[in-house]
Structure 1
Amino acid sequence: MWKNKRKILLLLIDIILLNIAYFLAFYLRFDYTIPHQYFLLYKKTFYIVVAVTVVTFVFFKQYNKIWRYASLHDIMDLIIFITIGSAMAAFVLLFLQIRLPRSIYPLYWFLSALLIGGSRIAYRSYMENNSKVKVKNIKYKKVLIVGAGDAGRILVREIKNHPETGLKPVAMVDDDVSKLHRSIDDVPVVGKIDDIQEVITEKEIDEVIFAIPSAPRTVLKKVIDKCSEMRIKVKTLPAIYELVDGTISISSIRDVDINDLLGREPVKIDLEEISSYIKGKKVMVTGGGGSIGSELCRQVARFSPSRLIILDIYENNMYEVQQELKRKYPELDIVCLVANIREEKKMNKIFSKYTPDIVFHAAAHKHVPLMEDSPHEAIKNNVYGTLNLVKVSDLYNVNRFVMISTDKAVNPTSVMGASKRICEMIIQEYDKKSKTEFVAVRFGNVLGSNGSVIPLFKKQIAEGGPVTVTHEEVKRYFMTIPEAVQLVIQAGAMAKGGEIFVLDMGEPVKIIDLARTLIRLSGFEPDVDIPIKIIGLRPGEKLFEELLISDDKYVSTKHEKIFIEKPVSVEYGNLILTLEKYKDKIDDMNEDEIREFIKSLVPEYNPDYQRFLMEEIAATEIE
C-alpha cells in the first residue's frame, strides 16, 4: 500500500516540477515578461508537454526505483529519459501543428533535468542524513577494505548507505600501485596488501573486509594469516562465481569460513562435458540425504536430468533435500525412495522399475572409530551394499556407475578404509565383464561434512574448549563439499571403465594448525583463551593419509587436477565368488575373524599399524 502511495506522491511532485520548468522556459525566453498571446499558448499546451514527459517516465519505470539509493548512473538514466520525454513532447506539438518558439524546447529540457534531477538528489541526501540521525548513538567499528576495485567501491557505498550496520570504512589497501594515495568516496587507499598489519595498527582497525571476489584463494589466505596474528576478524565477499547476478550488498558480506583456507584454487569443472552426459538422463544418487549425496543431488539437478532418483535409508535429511530441490527446480521429476542398499531383492525391484542411466553411489558407513567397534556393519553395508548395487547396475544396463571412495582405502589400517578398498576392487573386477562403466573417485577429508573435524572444532570453541586434536603431527588432505561433488560428476564424464580417479588436493594440512586458525577466526587466542588438548590417535587412525597406493602409479588426464591410479598388478581372481560365499556368514564371525577375512581380501590391510606407530613415536620421544 505504501509503495503505491509513494509512487503517486512522486508522480504528483514530478507533474508540479515539470509544469514549473515549462512555465520558467517561457518566463526566461521572454525576459521575465510573458506576452499575453504566449501565456495563452502556455496554458493551451502545458498539460500536453507534462503528460507526455510523465508517460515517458512511467514507460521507463522511473517510479519503481528506490531513490534513496540513487547513484550517478540513475541520474544519468533520468536525464536520458527527460531528453526522450522532451523530444516526444515536441513531436506531439508539431503533430498537432502547435508551434512554439524554438528556444522553449532546450530551456524546458534543461530546467526539467535541473528540477527533477535535483529533487532526486535532495531526497537521497535527506534520507542519508535522516538515517545518520537515527543511528547517531551507534559505536562504529573501523573497517579496512582489502581491494579498491569495483567490488570495493560498491562496498564502500553500501556501508555508507547503511550506517545502522555500525561499520565505518576508514581505509583501503590494494596491490595496484596506480590506486595508491587516491580515495574512493572519501576513503583513502593507503597501501598494499603487505602493509595490512601497519595499517591496522595506525588506523586502529576493528575489522577487515576482503573485497576481491576474483582473487585466488592464496591471496585471501595471506590476508587471513596477517590479520589472525593481530587477532583482527576478517570478513569476505563470496567468490565471483557465487555473485551470479553481479550485485554486491551488505548482505553479501560473510565471515571467513575455514573453506577459504585450503591454500589452493578450487577445482574447476567442464560444465559442457558434464551437461552433455547428464542432460535428459535418469540419474540415481544413493545416500542422497548425506553431506556428499545431497550436494550431488543439488549439482546434478542443475544439468536437467529427465529424472533424479534419491535413495537413502534415512528419510529426514532426504526429505529436506527433496523440498529444497522442488523449490529450486519445480519442473524436475524427483523420486525419493527410502531403502537399504543391503537388500538385494529391494534393489532389484527399484532398478527394474526406474532403470537409471547413471548411478552415483555415496551410501556408506564412513566413521573410522565407529566402524572399528562395528566391523560387521562396515562389511555388510559398505562391501555387500556396493556389491548389490554393482550387480543390479550390470543387470539393468546402467551406463555409468560412479562410487565414492576415500584416501583411507590406500594401505588401510581401519576396517572402514579396508571396506572401501574392497569396494574399489569390486568395481574394477566387475568392469572387466560388464557393459556398464564402473569407476571410483578417491578423495580426502571433506570440510563441513557430517562428522568431520570442523563442525566438532566449532562446537568445542562455542563451549569454551578445549579443542581436541588426536596428535601434534596428524595431517590430512582437505577439500570442500562442492569440490568433492564436482570431482565425482567430472569423473563420471571422463569414465571409460575401471578407473580410480584421484584429485590433486595440494599439500596436506596439519590438524593442529587447522584448530589454531579456526580458534583465531572465532576471535580467540589458542592456548590462551581456548586450550588445545592432545588426546591420542583413535582406533584405526593414521598420522598421514595417502591418495595413491604407489606414488609412481598414476597417469594424468585432460583435467589438470584429476589423475587416474594405474591398476595394481594384483589378480583379484575369485573376489566376487569369495564375497558371495561368505555373505551369509558375516554375522557368525567374531571381530578377529572379520579382520582376518578382510586381510585375506586386502593383503595391505594392517590393523596393527597404530600400535607400531605409537611405539615408534614413544621410542623417539625417549631418545
Structure 2
Amino acid sequence: MKWLNTRLLLLFIVDTTIILGSYILSLLLITNFHVYDESIIRILENLYWIIPIYVFSFVIFSLYKSLWRYASVEEALNVFLSVLVSFGLISLVNVLLHVNLRMNVIIIANIIIFLGLIGFRFSFRTLRVVHHYWQHNQTVRTLIIGAGNAGTMLVKEIKSNPKMKNKVVCFVDDDVNKKGKVIHGIKVVGTTDNLPEVVNRYRIEEIIVAMPSATKMQIQRILKKCDVVNKKTKILPPFYEIMDRTFDVKKIRDVQIEDLLGRDEVKIDDAGIYDFIKGEVVLVTGGGGSIGSELCRQIVKYEPAKLIIFDIYENNAYEIQNELLMHQLKNNKTTELIVLIGSVQDEKRLDEVFSKYKPTIVFHAAAHKHVPLMEVSPKEAIKNNIFGTYNTAKKA
C-alpha cells in the first residue's frame, strides 16, 4: 500500500510538471520566445482549475491504474482520449468564462502534454525492454516454428516475462507468403524445409513449436525435421489438449513420445485386462523370446492363477523364469509359474500341455521374426510361423 501511494504521488507530480511545462513551452513557441511576464502569470493564475480537469480526465481513463511496464496501444489510446477530453473542457471553460487564454496556446500545449505523458509512461516499458535485452546476453538463442497467433503471443510473452530465458532470434513458417515478414521485431526467415540451414546460420540452441491448431500428422512431420538438427525442442500443446483453448507460456513443454505418433494415443484398459486375466490359466508360447517374455512380465501383474511359459530355447525360458520368481517374492504375488520346453511344431507336445494344464487364455508369440534370416531359410519360417500357429490355434 505504501508503495502504491508513492507511485501515485510520483505520477501526479510528474503529470503536474508536464502540464505546467507544456503551457509555458507552448507560449514560448507561439511568441518566438519573446514572452511577457504577464502572459506566464495568466497561465499560472489559471492552473488551479486547469490541473484538476486533467487529473480528473486521467482518473476517468485509468491512467493511474495501468501497469506502464506492460503498456500497449490500448494505454496510448487512453492517454490520447484523456488529453482530448481535457482539451475540450478547458476550451469550453475558456470561452464561456472569458478566461482569455490564447486558443493556439491551448492547442499546442495539449499536443506537448500528450507527447510528454506518452514519453514518460512508455519509458517504463522501454527500460524494461532494454533490461530484458541485456539479460539476453546469457539466454538461449531460440527459433519459433509457427508465425501465427500463437507464435506472435509467445514472442510477446518472452519479451515481457523476465523469467523466460529465451532470446527469440527468428521464425520459420511453412506459409511462404510470410517469409521476410517481421513480427515484434523478429523476422520470418524461411520454412521448415530450410530448418538445418536456419539453425546453423543463426546459431539456434532451442526450438519451440508454436502451432496449437496443427493436426497430429503436421506436428509429427515438423518434429521429425527438428530431430534432424539435433537441438532441444519444446512444444506448445495442441488446442485439443488444452481445456480452455487459451495461450499460456506455462503450457510449453518438452516434446513427448506421444507427439511423434501422428495419431491418438491408445489408452490401456487396465481394469478390463485385470478382470480378463485374474485367476485364469495363461499359456504364452515363445514365452522366452523378446516379445513373449515381455508379455509374461505384463501378464503376471494381473494375477493369473497359473502362467505357463512354453519355449523351445531353455536359456531364454530359464532367464524369464528367474526374473519372474524374483518379482513374485518382492511383490508377494501368488501366481504359479510353470516353465515347459517344447516346440509349437510338435503337435503331440502341444497335446500334452493342453491336456494337462488346460489353459483358458493363450498368447501365441512363438515365431521367427527376423525377416532377412527367414528369407534365407523360408521352409523353416513356414514350418514354425504358419504350421506352428495352425497347431496352436487348433489345440486352443
Superposition map of 1:373-522 within 5 A: 373-374=278-279, 471=291
1:562-601 alignment runs, 5 A limit: none
Which shifted more, 110-119 or 157-166?
A: 157-166
Q: 1:208 offset after TM fit, Å?
A: 0.9
1:537 is matched with 295
1:191 Cα deviation after fit: 0.8
Q: Post-superposition shift, 1:45?
A: 1.9
Deviation per CA, 1:493-527: give whole Å up to 9, x if none.
xxxxxxxxxxxxxxxxxxxxxxxxxxxxxxxxxxx
| Distance (Å, rounded) in 2 between the aligned partners of 1:265 and 1:10 | 55
Provide the residue aligned with 1:86 in structure 2: 87
In the other structure, the counterpart of 1:205 is: 204
Matching residue of 2:45: 44
**Which string of whole-angstrom CA distances, capped at 9 and with x for unpartnered residues, describes residues 454-506 of structure 1?**
xxxxxxxxxxxxxxx974xxxxxxxxxxxxxxxxxxxxxxxxxxxxxxxxxxx
CA–CA distance in structure 1, aligned partners of residues 248 and 55 of structure 2: 31
Task: Tell whether the 8 Å contact from 2:61 to 2:79 is kept in structure 1 after alignment.
Answer: no
**8 A Cα contact 1:369 1:538, kept in partner:** no
| Separation in 1, partners of 2:41, 2:370 | 109
Q: Which runs of 5+ in 1 are unaligned?
A: 267-290, 293-363, 376-412, 415-468, 472-533, 542-590, 592-605
Give 2:344's aligned residue: none
Mapped contact 2:22–2:112 kept (Cα < 8 A): yes
Q: 1:365 to 1:155 in 2, by over 3 A?
A: closer
Give 1:171's aligned residue.
170
Name the TM-score, length of structure 2 as normaliser.
0.65
Note closer, same or farther for the CA distance 1:40–1:60 as it changes in structure 2 (3 Å cut): same
Aligned Cα RMSD in Å?
3.8
Code of the aligned partner of 1:536: E
Distance 1:164 1:11, change over 3 A: same
Deviation (angstroms), 1:112: 0.8
- Counterparts in 2 of 1:209 and 1:37: CA distance versus 1, 3 Å: same
C-alpha displacement of 1:367: 6.3
SS of the residue 1:156 aligns to: helix
Cα separation, 2, equivalents of 1:226 and 1:4 = 54
What one-letter code is carried by the residue in structure 1 that aligns with 2:366? E
Structure 2 SS opposite 1:103: helix
State the distance in 2 between where 1:177 and 1:189 align. 10
- Aligned: 1:615 with 2:373: no
Is the 8 Å Cα contact of residues 540 and 607 (structure 1) preserved in structure 2? Answer: no
Contact map agreement 2:144 2:208 (CA 8 A) in 1: yes
Rounded Cα–Cα distance in structure 1 between residues aligned with 2:128 and 2:21:
25
The residue aligned with 1:368 is: 273
Deviations 1:532-589 (A, max 9, x none): xx95224787xxxxxxxxxxxxxxxxxxxxxxxxxxxxxxxxxxxxxxxxxxxxxxxx
**1:256-275 mapped onto 2 (5 Å cutoff):** 256-264=255-263
What residue identity is the alignment partner of 2:194? D
CA–CA separation in structure 1 for the residues paired with 2:262 and 2:369: 32
Match of 2:41, as an amino acid?
A: L
Alignment partner of 2:102: what SS?
Answer: coil
Residue type at the aligned position of 2:23: Y
Summarize the Cα distance change of 1:218–1:46 in structure 2 as closer, same or farther, 3 Å threshold: farther
Larger Rg: 2
Q: 1:616 to 1:365 in 2, by over 3 A?
A: closer
- Conserved in 2, the CA contact under 8 Å of 1:49 and 1:86? no
Q: Which string of whole-angstrom CA distances, capped at 9 and with x for unpartnered residues, describes residues 128-161 of structure 1?
A: 334455x47x632211111223332332233233
Greater percentage in helix: 2
Alpha-carbon distance in structure 1 between the residues aligned to 2:81 and 2:232: 44
Match of 1:62 in 2: 63
Q: Residues 68 and 124 of structure 2 are in contact (CA less than 8 Å); yes or no, is this contact kept in structure 1?
A: yes
CA distance in 2, matches of 1:58, 1:243: 38
Task: Supply the distance in 2 between the matched residues of 1:245 and 1:45 (Cα, whole angstroms).
Answer: 54
Between the aligned partners of 1:249 and 1:24, the Cα distance in structure 2 is 46
Instruction: Supply the distance in 1 between the matched residues of 2:188 and 2:257 (Cα, whole angstroms).
Output: 28
Distance 1:60 1:257, change over 3 A: farther
Deviates more, 1:221-230 or 1:123-132: 123-132
Distance 1:68 1:200, change over 3 A: same
- Measured in 1, the distance between the counterparts of 2:19 and 2:244 equals 39
Cα distance, 1:204 vs structure 2: 2.8
d(CA) in 2 for partners of 1:156, 1:103: 43
- 1:150-229 alignment, distance < 5 Å: 150-162=149-161, 165-229=164-228
Q: Quick check: 2:58–2:82 contact (8 Å CA) kept in 1?
A: yes
Contact 1:238 1:254 in 2 (8 A): yes
* SS of equivalent residue, structure 2 residue 143: strand
> Corresponding residue for 1:588?
none
Query: Is the 8 Å Cα contact of residues 213 and 239 (structure 1) preserved in structure 2?
Result: yes
AA partner of residue 30 (structure 1):
T
8 Å contact from structure 1 (residues 53, 88) kept in 2 = no
Deviation at 1:94, TM superposition (A): 4.0
1:274-320: per-residue Cα shift (whole Å, max 9, x none)?
A: xxxxxxxxxxxxxxxxx99xxxxxxxxxxxxxxxxxxxxxxxxxxxx
1:101 shift after superposition: 1.7
Deviation at 1:171, TM superposition (A): 1.6
Q: How far apart are residue 34 of structure 1 and its match?
A: 3.2
Provide the rounded CA distance (Å) in 1 between the counterparts of 2:175 and 2:142. 20
C-alpha contact 1:151 1:213 (8 A) present in aligned 2 = yes
> What does the per-residue CA deviation read over 1:210-253, in whole Å, with 9 as the maximum and x for residues that have no partner?
2233333322222212212333232233445749586x564343
DSSP-derived class of the 1:170 partner:
strand
Aligned residue identity for 1:68: R
Q: Secondary structure at the match of 2:46?
A: helix
State the one-letter code of the partner of 1:226: K
Change (3 A) 1:157 1:97: same
Please say if residues 369 and 540 of structure 1, whose CA atoms lie closer than 8 Å, have aligned partners that are also in contact.
no
Distance apart, 1:107 and its partner CA: 0.6
CA shift for structure 1 position 66:
1.9
CA–CA distance in 1 between the matches of 2:245 and 2:6? 30
Quick one: structure 1 residues 218 and 15, their matched pair in 2 at CA, closer, same or farther if it must change by over 3 Å?
farther
Structure 1 length-normalised TM: 0.43
Which residue is equivalent to 2:330?
Answer: none
